[in-house]
Chain A
Amino acid sequence: MGAFLMPSLGADMEAGTLVEWLKQPGDMVHRGDIIAVVETEKGAIEVEIFENGQIAELLVQPGTKVPVGTTLAMITAEGEAPAPRPVQPIAPAPKPPVAAAPAPARVAKPMIPTARPRASPAARQIAAARGIDLGSLSGTGPDGAIVRADVLAAEGPRPAKTGIDLNQMRRAIAAAMARSKREIPHYYLTHSIDMSAAQDWLAAYNSTRLPDERLMLSTLLLKATALAVQDFPEFNGFNSADGYHPSSAIHVGMAIAIRAGGLAAPAIHDTATLPLPVLMTKMRDLVGRVRRGGFRASELTDATITVSSLGDRGVESLLPIIYPPQVAILGFGTVQRRPWVVDDTIAVRPVMTVTLAADHRASDGHRGALLLRAVEAQLQKPDML
């Protein structure tokens, strides 16, 4: 018997609201299945399960906000007998804000005893979570009791299952970036790379292919980063209270801008092992889903290093901020035609700057410089990517 918990979708997350169950008790589930939708500051996130089995019991009703680590459902492993329900962990006390503003004087609402409307526990929970007054509803349940459907009907149409709340996303970015600048001793290294080989190879590759089979320069940048960092474990992993933990897997996070404002950097799993056309397909899928608002929990939390690329309309260089608990991020500037010394003469070359921001607790500048050289080396032999 396993417990399916409210996941931590980022270091700043303390609680989440269960929005919807996509499976019911008795349903068989398989590793990777999306079984629930959880609302967080990052928007509605689809949450996968990481074991095979059968849903034994759903313990949290939709609409309920619970702390990270709360058991949401019990899962019976294949061939196992059902077990008793677990004791719920006690909710952690909310942390005081870092710089607490003086608490505004609150006028306590007078407690006026009222007749308690008949309502099911689920209806009460949802009504409480969404601030709906049960007394204002009429019930359609047994003896006129208010049931879940009545509360949901009173609320009007449910918000779309997925979608981006840009205000929440802005708060999530603010929390993560403020924490990064507060806690992580960043150091920065910048290098300029001659992109002739990569651009020429890409143009030749694309010239013989139909539009949906082509690649973009950013595909090469992600792959080059993933291959280069294989030899530099001190840049690929996570920092935690007990120090730095390198990751054996390489999941490159891809910073994706959202037109109306906002940013997410979900992971592309096992980036180093993906052939370029597969990587390109995954990038297109991910960008589409981020902009529509449909990324998965594991994509948000699994990135082991991040790449931010300005694309073809950006500026010369980008000094990125590390996304905690990661320890490194690479910022690629826009490729620009520049004078470049080749064999003691000056030639015009497409030149791109790459900047590494790294956590000085996990690595030193000497190794960082070698990592940037390794990225450069990868981009000089694009046919090997």
Chain B
Amino acid sequence: MTEQDFRALIIEEIGNIAPEADTSRLNDDADIREALDLDSMDVFNLVVALSKRLKMDIPDIDVPHMLTLSGGVTYLAERFKSHPA
């Protein structure tokens, strides 16, 4: 998977959790909670969904990496290399 694939996956899953959120103008480095008005439960569900899609654990301690699009893409790409599905 390329970084583009991870980016598309994150945006797709955000869309499933918050269909009304406008991800088209999401800044790479913006906190997704602020930019898209996601709450703790939304972030929880995003991590659950990404973990299921990629068939790999995302440890709770790493969840802060997922709070920006750029951070999420980098983190998932790195982790996926060492935990391939």
- A positions within 8 Å CB-CB of B: 203, 206-207, 209-212, 214, 216-218, 257, 259-260, 283-284, 287, 311-313
Contact = CB atoms under 8 A, between A and B. Distances in A.
B51 A216 contact: no
Contact of B40 (A203, A210, A218): A218
Given A259-B20, A313-B33, A211 B48 contact: yes
B41 A216 contact: yes
Contacts of B34: 313
Contacts of A260: 20
Interface of B: 18, 20-21, 33-34, 37, 39-41, 44-45, 47-48, 51-52, 57-61
Main secondary structure of the interface of A (DSSP, over half): helix
A13 B75 CA distance: 50
Nearest to B46: A211
A364 B56 CA distance: 52
A284 B61 contact: no
Contacts of A206: 60
Contacts of B40: 216-218, 311-313
Contacts of A283: 41
Contacts of A284: 41, 44-45
Contact of B44 (A203, A207, A209, A216): A216
A214 B60 contact: yes
A312 B40 CA distance: 7
Most chain A CB within a 10 A radius of its CB, from B18, B20, B33, B39: B39
Nearest to B21: A259
Contact of A214 (B37, B39, B44): B44
A260 B18 CA distance: 10
A270 B34 CA distance: 34
Contacts of A313: 33-34, 39-40
A362 B4 CA distance: 59
